[in-house]
Structure formats: structure tokens, C-alpha cells
Amino acid sequence: MGRYQDVFDSLNRAAMIPFFVIGDPDTETSLRIVKTAIDAGADILELGIPFSDPVADGPTIQKADIRALKAGMTPQKALAFIAQVSAYKPIPIGLLVYYNLIYQYGVDAFYRDFKQAGGTSVLVADVSIDDAEEIAPAALRAGLETVFMATPNCPDERLQQVVKYTTGFIYTVSLLGTTGERQRFSTLAKPLIQRLKRLTQTPVCVGFGISSPEHARQVAADGANGVIIGSRLVKIIEDNLNDKDQLYCQLQAFLAETLNALKTVQDDTSAN
Amino acid sequence: MKQKGRYGTYGGFYVPEVLIPAIEEIEAAFLQFQNDASFVAELNALLTHYAGRPTPLYHAQRFSEAAGCSVWLKREDLLHGGAHKTNNALGQGLLAKVMGKKKLIAETGAGQHGLATAMVGALFGMETKIFMGSVDVARQNVNVHKMKLLGAEVIPVSGGTCTLKDAINEAMRYWTANVDAFYLFGTAGGPHPFPMIVRHFQTVIGTEARRQCLDQMGRLPDFVAACVGGGSNAIGIFSAFLDDAAVKLVGVEGGGKGLDSDHHCATLNKGRPGILHGSQTYVLQDEHGQIHDTECISAGLDYPGVGPEHAYLKDTGRASYVAVSDEQVLNAFALLTRLEGIMPALESSHALAWLLAQKGTLPPDIVAVVNLSGRGDKDIGIVEEHRPIN
Ligand SMILES: Cc1ncc(COP(=O)(O)O)c(C=O)c1O
């Protein structure tokens, strides 16, 4: 367990935040993948519980969800997984879930158990800021931080609501669309980061479509406090299902290169 | 959003943040135009001269004998396009037009909503994309062909069971990347404002049927029965009778191979409250909240969720929800076809099958109105497969 602010305070660069689906392609491999990412210098982890109908996700993460579900992953097992990750290293862990999974578990019970497992925040992909009251108070009661999404098409009044409800970091969606790798990095991210920076001191972490160390460097240069890399990493898993050594090796190399890219951008540029 | 879109505790708009501006825009336009005189006049003219409203209420006397009570059919099968879906597609299509939209997207199961959307796309000169599960593309291929002839692009969706649920997933994903398109949602489910909008454009069924009952029989019916997939034809006809406490409202779900099997789509019978496709409602799901696969002879009902107002009507007891099996449905299809010369859609045959199953339990002077939501041409291949004519 760890607090986001401690991480952001301790870095003079943008945080590297890898995303994985818990249990992809199976629990054991998934744990080794997450440990590889931690060893490669992840500052924060973003982990997803697989869902049968992930409407915010593109094909790469959809396939990861299917692999993890086929291998038997459940919300209960995901919490046990998170406890194992926390035991390996006390790193802040943001969870990404679809609402029905925590609704069935019971929102308060889920947040309590997630906190107990060492988690830091829960982002619910299909709950907008309009329904923050349904989940944010429960998160705070459980001692968790809160994370909500900001998107390029959010007007400033909505961004203000996002700011109001967010204690951890603002999950800033770089584009209009689902998760997935992109050739070019979205031009919509920079203006959104700038709008947020005018509104708040709360850290701004950018995700969706960040597919290369160069993209990561660019987002950091655009002023992001953290860079969330999902589909690109999950694709490495998909491409190396039959060769685990190769899988860990490629993940390690990609993250090391990304970290180096982030180190080339010093923090004082992120102030505006 | 201006409204919460709640039916008791059900409904709401549980969608990713990125979609909120798109549904807000549709809500605002609907609230602005639903009672706008020129909008209403244009829609009514289309419903009359383009689509063929009002549809008849027909006393099916030979079928009544078989069912053991007096059966009246609300003939949505005669509507242009062959199903009630045209009411909603015209209403929302006109809304898209006044909003200045150039592109329509829609999901479809049986292909009737896709067909209705493709018709409207052609009529208004809008680019139209229809998302359809690959299983449904195969089993409803007549409608696929029609949609293409009308100029729509049909996008087969694989994933899950390759049926309606997966088509909605993919349409929503496409919409997040193309928020300038108008998502013409096909049933009274999904995130607010769709349940409200689809209900509004389908109430014409109930309004007409209630008036026709009074005109033709001089009384209200004892029962109003309709099949329930997402619930648009059912809420359309129920809505006009909600305040008539003596009129029993019966929604009929797809019982598939039986409610004790895993092969059905009887969401209100076997599901429990949860969140799917933006709506808090009954959902067929496992103990953890993963959405169940469904299976039903009728592509239009083959869906693990249901419109939130039906969840509310179930809990309050105002409507009751039952299920019939694929076998019963095929029997009902055959019976109406042979006794009345009317070939019903397999979806609509669910409501007929429930009525047939009541035979002997209802006094013969009981009057039942069945919403015959669509015609069965699209289904003759499936019927042939199960009941070959030799
Ligand atoms: C003829 C017909 N009836 C009923 C339905 C089910 O939809 P709903 O429950 O929204 O009326 C469909 C759906 O495709 C249909 O084609």
C-alpha cells in the first residue's frame, strides 16, 4: 500500500504506471508479469479485474479479459492477487473495474476488502462524475483515495466536478474512444492537461493510446504527472503467450526504455 | 444530464465519462422537441403516410377458439418494415435530423431494428452503420440483405455469444470514438435517456390499441400481452394501460430450452438486479456479476438485460413476467399461420404461446390483446430448420 502523493512528491519526473488485467493469461503468470513491471521501475500500478462486457476497452484488453476469465479469475481471487502484489512491494495500486462487479460484491464490502488487500483507489469505468456520490463516499469511508476520469470532450464545469471528487489523481483520457494501441499520440491530450492544470493541483495522469516510449515522453513533456500504459503492454502478453521468458524479457525492456524516456523530461516543465 | 432517468431504483446512465456529452445532447434535443408542434406534425405525417399508422386491432376468431378466450391482435406486423421498430426509428431519426446529425449507428438482434434504422437512414440521406452479432447475421440473413440494399453498412460482431449484447457493446465502443454520430438505440433499455425516448415513440401502439378497444369492443381488455426482449414493444403497449388497474399486463420472455437450463434469455424471471449497458436493471449473470450467455430461438429476445421500467413494473407487481419455451413458440407460430393466415415473428409468437398455455384456466369471455410486434418472414428459415415441411 502507498499513497499517490508520496510517489508524486518523491519523483522529479512523470510516474510510470503500467496497466495489466489481473489473471491474464493465468494467475501465476500474471503475478510474475506484475513483479517484472515493479522490478522494471513501475511507480504505481493500474490493475483491472476482468469483465465479460468491457465497453470502454478495445480488442487488446477485451482479449486479455477473456483469457483471464477463462483461467478462472474472479473479484475475490483478484483481491487475493492484490494482497500478494502488496506483499512483494508496497506500491500504490489503482484498480479499474466495471460497476456490476463491485455492485454484486457490495460496494462498501468491496472497498473495505480492497483496502485490506493493500489497494489505493478504485476507478469504475462505467460510472461518470454525475454518479460520484454512489461510490466516492464509500471509498473515503474505507480509507481509499478516489480517481475519476476526465475526457477531452468534458466541458470545464464537468472538469470542476471531477476535481472536486478526486483525491488521488485525475485519470485523464487522451482521446475519444476505447483503450487500444495507436500509431500516433492523440493531439487532444495536451489541451486537456492544460485545462486541468489551470483548475487544480491534483496530479494528472494520462492514459489510453500510449503505445511507445516516445509517446510517454511526449505526454510527460505535455505536463502529465503520470503516464498509464495499458494495451501496449497487454499486447506484449498476447504476442508471447507461448514463450514466457520472452514475454517477461520484452516487458522488462519496454518498461526500462519507457522509464528512460520519462527521465529525459524534468519535473519543472510539468508546472503549467 | 437534466434528468436522472430512474424507474424506482432502476435505470440511470452508467456509461464511461466520454459518452456523457453524447447522451446529454440527445436528452436535451428530445426534451426540446418531443412536444414541439412542427416536430410532432412531421413525425405524425411520417407515421401515417410513410409507415402506415394506425395499425389495425384485429379480432382473431379462429385463433381465439384455439386459445379458449377472445384474442385481439395489435397488428404492428403491418407497419412498414414489418415490426414496431419503425415507430422508434422514425422518431429518433427525426430527432437526429433536427439535431443536424449526418450519421446513424444502431445495434440489432433480429435485424428488425437495423432494418428500420436503415430505412430511416435512406429516407433522411444519412450514413448508417448497423452492428449485428455474427450469429444473428447468419440466422437473420434476409434482414441483413435488406439493410444492405437500403444502403446501410452491416458490421458483424464477434465476441461473447455473437448476439445482441455483443452488438450493443460494439456500437457503444464505436460511439465513444465517433461521438458526432447519433446512436439510434433500438429498445427501451440502455442508459438514460434511451428508455424514456424509446418508450415515448412506442406509446403510439398503446394509445391506438386502447382507443381501438373502446371503439371496437366498447370495453378495455382483461389482458395485454407482449413479448419482452429489451422491452420496447411491451412498454409501448403497456404504457397506455398502466392506469387501468383492472387490465393485467403480461410480458413474455424467451424461455429457450427451459428456465432450469442455461439456455434461455428470461432476464426478469431468472436474473437479479445489476448494471448492464448503462442501466441498473435485472441482468442474467453469474454469482460474481459476469454477464451470462443467453440462448433463444428468437434473435430479438436473445439478451441478458431488460429495460429498467420493466424491472420496476415487475417489482411493483403492476406487470407480471412469464416465459415460454422455444417449442411452445414454434407451435404458436404454426397455429396463427394456419388458423389466421398471419405469419408472426418468432418474438411476437412468444406472447401468443403464453396465451395458448392459459387455455382452460381463463373463462371464454376473457378478452386478451396481444401485441403482434412483427411479421415472421425473416424467420421462415429458422422455422424450416426446426419443423421441416415434407
Ligand atoms: C418483431 C420483434 N418483436 C420484438 C422484439 C424485441 O424487442 P423489444 O423487446 O424491444 O420489443 C424484436 C427485436 O428485434 C422484434 O424484431
Q: Quick check: A150 contacting B, CB < 8 Å?
A: yes
Q: Which residues of B touch A133 (CB under 8 A)?
A: none
pLDDT of residue B259: 96
Place of cell 453524447: B22
Nearest CA to ligand 1 atom 13: B300
Check whether A222 has a pLDDT greater than 70: yes
Output the nine-digit C-alpha cell for B317. Answer: 407487481
Report A:174-203 residues touching B (Cβ under 8 A). Answer: 175-178
What ipTM was estimated for this complex?
0.96
How many CB atoms lie under 10 A from the CB of residue B61? 12
Q: Chain A: nearest CA to B4, how far in angstroms?
A: 10
Pairwise CA distance, residues A150 & A129, whole Å:
9
Answer whether residue A13 is part of any domain: yes
How many CB atoms lie under 10 A from the CB of residue A6? 10
Q: Quick check: B5 contacting A, CB < 8 Å?
A: no
Contact A158 B20 (CB under 8 A): yes
- Please answer whether residues A22 and A78 qualify as being in contact, where contact means their C-beta atoms are separated by less than 8 angstroms: yes
Which stretches within chain B are classed as H helix?
A: 20-33, 37-45, 61-67, 85-98, 112-124, 134-139, 141-149, 164-177, 194-217, 232-238, 267-270, 308-316, 326-340, 346-357, 380-386
Phi, psi torsion values for A204, nearest 5 degrees:
-115, 115
Length of chain B: 390
Rounded to the nearest 10 degrees, the angle between the axes of helix A244-263 and helix A27-39 is: 30
Pairwise CA distance, residues B247 & B238, whole Å:
10
Pairwise CA distance, residues A158 & A168, whole Å:
17
Q: Quick check: A71 contacting B, CB < 8 Å?
A: no
CATH of the domain at A79: 3.20.20.70
Atom of ligand 1 nearest to the CA of B202: 11
Answer whether residue A271 is part of any domain: no
Phi, psi torsion values for B236, nearest 5 degrees:
-60, -45
- Of A10, A11, A29, the C-alpha closest to A21 is A29
Report B:205-264 residues touching A (Cβ under 8 A). Answer: none
Report B:149-208 residues touching A (Cβ under 8 A). Answer: 159-160, 165, 169, 172-173, 176-179
User: Per the structure, how many domains does chain A have?
Assistant: 1
Answer whether residue A103 is part of any domain: yes
Q: What average pLDDT does the structure give for chain B?
A: 97
Range of the domain at A23: 3-263
Pairwise CA distance, residues A34 & A47, whole Å:
9
Answer whether residue A136 is part of any domain: yes
Answer whether residue A258 is part of any domain: yes
Pairwise CA distance, residues B136 & A121, whole Å:
40
pLDDT tens track for B163-175 = 999 999 999 999 9
Answer whether residue A39 is part of any domain: yes
Query: Residue A46 catalytic?
Result: yes
Taking CA atoms, what residue in B is nearest to A59?
B159
| Beta bridge mates, B248 | B223
- Of B84, B97, B166, the C-alpha closest to B128 is B97
Answer whether residue A240 is part of any domain: yes
Q: Would you write out chain B's pLDDT as a tens digit for each of its 390 residues? A: 999 999 999 999 999 999 999 999 999 999 999 999 999 999 999 999 999 999 999 999 999 999 999 999 999 999 999 999 999 999 999 999 999 999 999 999 999 999 999 999 999 999 999 999 999 999 999 999 999 999 999 999 998 789 999 999 999 999 999 999 999 999 999 999 999 999 999 999 999 999 999 999 999 999 999 999 999 999 999 999 999 999 999 999 999 999 999 999 999 999 999 999 999 999 999 999 999 999 999 999 999 999 999 999 999 999 999 999 999 999 999 999 999 999 999 999 999 999 999 999 999 899 999 999 999 999 999 999 999 987
Query: Residue B107 catalytic?
Result: yes
Contact A104 B288 (CB under 8 A): yes
pTM of the complete model: 0.97
**Which domains, from first to last, does chain B contain?**
7-47+84-194 (3.40.50.1100), 54-83+203-386 (3.40.50.1100)
Can you say whether the dihedral through the CA atoms of B14, B16, B21, B23 is positive or negative? negative
Answer whether residue A269 is part of any domain: no
Query: Residue B85 catalytic?
Result: yes
pLDDT of residue A272: 39
